[in-house]
């Protein structure tokens, strides 16, 4: 405690503000400018666990994964200079994915600015256009209010990330203890959810019921808002089929009679696209109707009737003319629609939702069965997905890196429960995400089996965190799809540039050997007949485990990516 019984220093005040917002985990990496903050974490009784990472990018991805499975704000921290630039990719990914992550950076003293101090950087300007809130706190007495503002921005309306910078001298200056208070409800998201205008609810229902073959497409907002139950009630009441984006998976079990599966250019296939094409009205729920979901705004075709429910007004009408809109939290919006339907009494429809969805699922299952049963070598990614599904419990959490894992898992790994059980970093698609995000997910949901699936390109980005995983005794199951290439780019060179392969191939790493050197139990598999047994052993292992799978490269495969399909 700073001098004077009613004073704290800035670092102490910051720790107390995190504590009051319900923070229990921080992921981060130390630096000179962070010393007062670290000292406060060491000395105070706060109940917060600090997880030391080996890379600031990883700290942000861990905070992201933690937030996704807990519904709490994820916290990451980094020092000034390079640390602030390294943490930025994870902050951007979280913010664009509507996931609240607070990026804390320490900074040089305010008195050192403009004097060529080591690591000087305009942090506020760096983070401001990429977050919902960014502030470098120049006065210690402003610190509590800035923390409250950041949490309020992150968790209300459309959730997103924030950044706070802590200059070295501000961390040591005094803060009156009376300034230290918080609303713990703002430590979870979505906080203060907004319900829709009742008249807008009736208008949207009228438009929806005037269609002949409507389709719901859910983005990530249903799971974020906890609206899965309300969605199921609504879809069942009207017999409307439900498709999802990758981020929307878990809105409805993929075994549900109304479930279509993933649509779009990544993870969608011809069978799911056909449902979009045959629909005369699309109901987007918490979905931005961006380039991947709509295959560059081709499906649904321009002119298709659209209604939209979203908490962000800038999304509605941005890409498709919208006949009716609800500006609301996804859960509260769906609840309002269900109440309005109940008040109307029995509504008979001829939407044929179960028939349309069931036909798409059957065609998709047949397509997948042919490929997943293959004994080809290198091992087909479809075979890997099938064997993973066979050995994992339904409540497992699977996190896929971009590249080889994302399209195959999103298309074919069947989610049998609602909620957050699968995701990929779809906002910006940086490599090296899944291993670190899986660490954060385990801290948030330690009772679940957590699985990270990555390509060998991604493994190279994040391999240093194997030390963190072993040191922290995190019982992850990690799977590497080894094909010795930046496969997504190579597949694009095949489909769009006449197989002019340039600077996309690298030497194959013995990933199992690398993992063993860090102390991870590891296997290498090249024979598809051995794959299930090895994956089962890895899942059952009581510590961190890695399976190195020699996989078919993407440019030789039949990946569910529409731009590669002739």
- Note the pLDDT of residue 4: 45
Indicate the residue among 137, 158, 187 that finishes a domain: 187
We report the CATH number of the domain holding residue 385 as 3.40.50.970
Q: Regarding beta strands 174-176 and 7-9, do their DSSP bridges make them parallel or antiparallel, or are they unpaired?
A: antiparallel
| Residue where the block lists tokens 């109901």 | 283
Interval 433-444: pLDDT, tens: 999 999 999 999
d(CA 454, CA 430) in angstroms, rounded, equals 12
Same-domain status, 57 and 116: yes
Residue 251's alpha-carbon distances to 90, 244, 330, 419, 501, in angstroms, are 24, 8, 11, 6, 39
Cβ atoms within 10 Å of 257's Cβ, excluding its own: 16
Same-domain status, 409 and 467: yes
Same-domain status, 337 and 381: no
d(CA 163, CA 226) in angstroms, rounded, equals 26
Same-domain status, 352 and 430: no
d(CA 450, CA 79) in angstroms, rounded, equals 29
Same-domain status, 220 and 341: yes
Same-domain status, 352 and 412: no
148 is a domain residue? yes
pTM here?
0.97
Indicate the residue among 356, 390, 423 that finishes a domain: 356
190, 193, 156, 211: which is closest to 324 by C-alpha?
A: 211
d(CA 111, CA 261) in angstroms, rounded, equals 56
How big, in percent rounded to 5, are the helix, strand and coil portions of the chain? 45, 20, 40
Question: What is the token pair recorded at 549?
Answer: 């799978």
389 is a domain residue? yes
192 is a domain residue? no
Regions of the chain where pLDDT drops below 50: 1-4
366 is a domain residue? no
433 is a domain residue? yes
367 is a domain residue? no
362 is a domain residue? no
- Note the pLDDT of residue 6: 81
Same-domain status, 163 and 39: yes
For residue 190, say if its preceding peptide bond is cis, omega within 30 degrees of 0.
yes
Residue-range definition of the domain harbouring residue 229: 198-356
Indicate the residue among 294, 322, 356 that finishes a domain: 356
Helical residues (DSSP H) of 298-352, grouped into ranges: 330-344
Same-domain status, 344 and 438: no
Same-domain status, 305 and 239: yes
We report the CATH number of the domain holding residue 207 as 3.40.50.1220
Contact 160, 98 (CB under 8 A): yes
Cα-to-chain-centroid distance, residue 201: 29
Same-domain status, 304 and 418: no
For residue 123, say if its preceding peptide bond is cis, omega within 30 degrees of 0.
no
Same-domain status, 181 and 263: no
Same-domain status, 491 and 539: yes
- Note the pLDDT of residue 348: 87
Interval 251-284: pLDDT, tens: 999 999 999 999 999 999 999 999 999 999 999 9
Contact 59, 36 (CB under 8 A): no
365 is a domain residue? no
- Output Rg (C-alpha) for the chain, integer angstroms: 24
d(CA 515, CA 519) in angstroms, rounded, equals 7
Task: Give the number of domains in the chain.
Answer: 3
Contact 410, 262 (CB under 8 A): yes
User: Which of the 8 DSSP states describes residue 313?
Assistant: T
d(CA 421, CA 484) in angstroms, rounded, equals 28
């Amino acid at each position: 405690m700073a001098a004077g019984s009613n004073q704290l220093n800035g670092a102490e005040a910051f720790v107390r503000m995190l504590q009051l917002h319900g923070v229990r985990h921080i992921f981060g990496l130390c630096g000179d400018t962070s010393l007062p903050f670290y000292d406060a974490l060491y000395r105070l009784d706060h109940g917060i666990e600090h997880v030391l990472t080996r890379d600031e990018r990883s700290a942000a991805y861990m905070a992201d994964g933690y937030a996704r499975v807990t519904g709490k704000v994820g916290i990451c921290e980094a020092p000034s200079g390079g640390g602030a630039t390294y943490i930025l990719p994870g902050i951007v990914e979280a913010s664009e994915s509507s996931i609240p992550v607070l990026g804390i950076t320490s900074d040089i003293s305010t008195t050192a600015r403009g004097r060529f101090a080591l690591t000087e950087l305009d942090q506020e300007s760096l983070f401001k256009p990429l977050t919902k809130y960014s502030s470098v706190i120049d006065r210690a007495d402003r610190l509590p209010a800035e923390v409250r503002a950041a949490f309020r921005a992150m968790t209300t309306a459309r959730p997103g990330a924030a950044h706070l910078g802590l200059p070295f001298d501000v961390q040591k200056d005094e803060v009156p203890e009376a300034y230290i208070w918080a609303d713990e409800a703002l430590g979870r998201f979505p906080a203060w959810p907004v319900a829709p205008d009742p008249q807008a609810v009736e208008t949207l229902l009228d438009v929806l019921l005037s269609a002949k073959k409507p389709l719901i497409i859910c983005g990530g907002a249903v799971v974020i808002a906890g609206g899965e139950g309300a969605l199921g009630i609504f879809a069942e009441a009207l017999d409307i089929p439900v498709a999802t984006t990758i981020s929307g998976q878990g809105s409805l079990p993929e075994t549900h009679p109304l479930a279509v599966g993933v649509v779009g250019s990544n993870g969608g296939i011809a069978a799911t696209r056909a449902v979009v094409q045959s629909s005369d009205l699309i109901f987007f729920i918490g979905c931005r109707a961006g380039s991947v979901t709509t295959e560059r705004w081709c499906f649904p075709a321009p002119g298709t009737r659209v209604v939209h429910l979203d908490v962000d007004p800038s999304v509605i009408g941005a890409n498709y003319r919208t006949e009716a809109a609800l500006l609301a939290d996804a859960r509260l919006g769906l609840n309002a629609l269900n109440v309005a339907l109940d008040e109307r009494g029995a509504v008979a429809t001829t939407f044929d939702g179960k028939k349309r969805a069931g036909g798409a699922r059957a065609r998709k299952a047949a397509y997948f069965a042919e490929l997943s049963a293959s004994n080809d070598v290198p091992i087909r990614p479809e075979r890997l997905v099938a064997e993973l599904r066979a050995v994992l419990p339904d409540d497992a959490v699977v996190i896929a890196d971009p590249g080889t894992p994302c399209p195959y898992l999103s298309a074919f790994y069947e989610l049998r429960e609602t909620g957050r059980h699968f995701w990929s970093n779809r906002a910006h698609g940086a490599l090296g995400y899944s291993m670190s995000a899986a660490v954060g997910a385990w801290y948030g949901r330690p009772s679940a089996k957590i699985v990270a699936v990555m390509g060998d390109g991604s493994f190279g980005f994040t391999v240093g965190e194997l030390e963190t995983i072993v040191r922290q005794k995190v019982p992850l199951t990690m799977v590497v799809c080894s094909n010795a290439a930046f496969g997504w780019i190579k597949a694009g060179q095949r489909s769009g540039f006449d197989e002019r392969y340039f600077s996309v191939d690298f030497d194959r790493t013995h990933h199992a050997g690398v993992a063993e050197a860090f102390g991870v139990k590891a296997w290498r598999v090249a024979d598809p007949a051995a794959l299930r047994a090895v994956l089962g052993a890895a899942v059952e292992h009581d510590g961190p485990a890695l399976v190195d799978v020699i996989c078919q490269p993407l440019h030789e495969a039949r990946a569910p990516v529409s731009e590669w399909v002739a």
